[in-house]
Structure 1
Amino acid sequence: MRRSKLGLPALGLWSVVLLAGCSSDAGKNETGGVQAAPHPETVQAPDTTKAPVDSAKTATVAPKADSSAATAPAATKFVVRDEAAQKPGAILPHKRIIAYYGNPLSKRMGVLGEYAPSKMLSKLDEEVKAWNAADPNTPAQPALHVIVVTAQGSPGKGGKYRLRMSDHVADSVISWAARRNAIVFLDIQIGQSTVQEEIPRLEKWLKLPQVHLGIDPEFAMKNGAIPGRRVGTLDAAEINYATSFLNEMAVKYNLPPKILVIHRFTQRMVTNYKNIQLRPNVQFVMHMDGWGDRVLKKSTYNDYIKKEFVQYTGFKLFYHNDTKKPGWKLYSPEGILALNPKPLYIQYQ
């Protein structure tokens, strides 16, 4: 079957000064396909912080004949090895995480920053209610997933093609989450940096019981590659550093199990997945990223998440880009629940 591209928004990898933005050409997808149109951005940011670039996702998928309303596939056994699941405070698989993603300095990077905090939290409440209605046996756990290290199209200070947000960004999102008893994910796009360099500086937040970690391999660049010009990659060895760090955090601070979310929408984004080490105090989510029609999103999920199953799975929804073409519709909770395995981490951008 001929492969087809799942369309993506512009990566928006440009430098943005306070309260104004200027765009450059958007990056191509990893196979040199069509470029998405760049768009400018206006950012409300404190004087000490630059605004982040937009992050976008590309996926290569094979269309399938079914739709989101299709019945679940024939039963497949997915054995979840999770010593952490029985520990006090473990979230998975007892709850399904419903997360809002983005950065409060950007209206273009996701719903978390698109609206004022009170309105954003009200919208999250609606999604939590919908998921509780769709699957009353798995309570919905609200979450805010904030990008605290953003990939950049220029070297920036330190020459690592990444911008670290000020502490105010993480502190603000954590305070918003407290209003809903929500958990928080700190997401990193490391550019030409490393997980070993970026993760330890997050310890002051990761030592909090409600704060967890996300890593986006799309922006983990190797061999001098520049974010936005190709899709990045993470190896199991790098992921194992992250799970080891989180496991040590849980032990050191006597915390409930930590959760690690890894974004994925191509096979090359994660290499040697069979070597990913599961830890007794960490719960691992391989998260299906990328936007497009429901048929293509389901194909991506089957090709890169289901076929290379690790522990728990996630599924991403884009309010704008999943509905941008005629006939495209946002996946409903019921449609996602028809997938096998059923995702336990749902992210809205």
Structure 2
Amino acid sequence: MLALAHVSTSTLAAFLFASTTGSQTANASFRSLTSTTTASTTLKRASSTPAALPVFTATTSVSVPGRPWPVSTLYPDAGALLPFHRIVAYYGNFYSKQMGVLGQYPEEQVLAMLASTTATWAAADPATPVIPAIQYIAVVAQAGAGKEGKYILRMPDSQVDHALAMADKMHGLLFLDIQVGQSTLQYELPQLEKYLAMPNVELAIDPEFSMKFGNAPGRVIGTYDAADINYAAAYLASLVNANHLPPKILVVHRFTEAMVTNYKDIRPLPEVQIVMDMDGWGSQAKKINTYKMVIAAEPVQFTGVKLFYKNDLLPPSTGMLTPAQVLSFTPAPIYIQYQ
């Protein structure tokens, strides 16, 4: 059964909902602690397609040989980061030590850790430049309904600004992670529009905490349909077009088949690149099997993996997956997240 843990702060008059340590499915629920990154590459959004690659229009279906592009897909608009870079992100919330790296260590230590981790990945795959990222949970699922009855707590702008400043220090990206509870993407995304309209701010959505059927978060594993994911992609695409931005990245967490339904109907766009990110913690064997059965078996566009500094080490685990092991996955993940 999913476990609840709460953290109170003097700033918030509510409790943050901490991630799970168990699962109601055959696969363990993965919730991650995020590690360090360095600016091994300076974030640049090119205005043209990289010269080393053939030029395609946005409507041409292509596979790029020798690149971690998992399925034939639309070639992205100019300035796209994937698959030409790998992203390494540290995850969490500043108010909670239970939800990931960002809340566990002082800012300078987090940035130093992230820089070190980014350098490790750059060394493991020298052909793919690495971009560091801060993945901040901006809307946090709650065990209680709250004033709006939506079972969520939205973070104040000051905290999002802090996360953005950390990303800027690394010349990297900020991913805003959304746990909608009993709210909806249609309601929550417009409230973050001023951030999502920035060129270095991306979006992550978490089906685990999408409570479509009236449950409280943490009691059952939630779900998104392709229609929900397509809405988020279309929303981001509208911001790209309205503000003349480079393509956005949309990350979707997943560790069970039921967390995402009708995957074949998910539509990547020239303006929005979609990453299906294998969430969940457990032994190396369990994580490898989950990747094969849940991520690789239902390809959308790009793939990612979440690694847990603590939970991936719980018995009977023999250790966290190494970059070399992760790079041996098929397809090789282009998005790496640490909790």
TM-score under structure 1 length normalisation: 0.82
Partner in structure 2 of residue 188 of structure 1: 178
Note if 1:54 corresponds to 2:45. Answer: no
> Cα gap change, 1:96/1:9 in structure 2, threshold over 3 Å: closer, same or farther?
farther
Partner in structure 2 of residue 83 of structure 1: 75
Partner in structure 1 of residue 37 of structure 2: none
Aligned 8 A contact 1:243 1:279 in 2: yes
C-alpha distance in 1 between matches for 2:119 and 2:13: 35
> Aligned-pair distance for 1:278?
1.5
Aligned 8 A contact 2:247 2:271 in 1: yes
Secondary structure at 2:289 match in 1:
helix
Equivalent pairs: percent with the same residue?
A: 48
C-alpha distance in 2 between matches for 1:327 and 1:286: 24
Q: Partner amino acid for 1:18?
A: T
C-alpha distance in 2 between matches for 1:193 and 1:17: 22
C-alpha distance in 2 between matches for 1:11 and 1:311: 33
Aligned 8 A contact 1:96 1:141 in 2: yes
- Superposition pairs for residues 91-240 of structure 1, below 5 Å? 91-240=81-230
C-alpha distance in 2 between matches for 1:327 and 1:244: 40
C-alpha distance in 1 between matches for 2:266 and 2:212: 19
Aligned 8 A contact 1:263 1:287 in 2: yes
C-alpha distance in 2 between matches for 1:168 and 1:226: 27
Q: Partner amino acid for 1:150?
A: V
C-alpha distance in 2 between matches for 1:299 and 1:335: 13
1:199-246 CA-to-partner distances (Å, cap 9, x unmatched) read: 111110011100000000000002211111100000111111100000
Partner in structure 2 of residue 10 of structure 1: 3
Q: Partner amino acid for 1:53?
A: F
C-alpha distance in 2 between matches for 1:77 and 1:126: 26
> Aligned-pair distance for 1:78?
3.9
> Aligned-pair distance for 1:77?
9.3
1:76-112 CA-to-partner distances (Å, cap 9, x unmatched) read: 994231332xx33211000000000000111110011
Q: Partner amino acid for 1:241?
A: Y
C-alpha distance in 2 between matches for 1:320 and 1:11: 17
Q: Partner amino acid for 2:116?
A: E
Q: Partner amino acid for 2:147?
A: K
C-alpha distance in 1 between matches for 2:302 and 2:136: 20
Partner in structure 1 of residue 243 of structure 2: 253
C-alpha distance in 1 between matches for 2:81 and 2:292: 24
Aligned 8 A contact 1:99 1:346 in 2: yes
Structure 1 segments unaligned to the other structure (5+ residues) = 1-7, 20-45, 63-75
Q: Partner amino acid for 1:56?
A: T
> Aligned-pair distance for 1:324?
1.8
How many residue pairs end up in the alignment? 298
Aligned 8 A contact 2:8 2:16 in 1: no
Q: Which deviates more, 264-273 or 53-62?
A: 53-62
- Superposition pairs for residues 258-277 of structure 1, below 5 Å? 258-277=248-267
Structure 2 segments unaligned to the other structure (5+ residues) = 29-67
C-alpha distance in 2 between matches for 1:285 and 1:297: 17
Partner in structure 2 of residue 304 of structure 1: 294
> Cα gap change, 1:316/1:9 in structure 2, threshold over 3 Å: closer, same or farther?
farther
Aligned 8 A contact 1:82 1:311 in 2: no
Q: Partner amino acid for 1:81?
A: T
Q: Partner amino acid for 1:60?
A: A
Superposed CA RMSD: 1.9
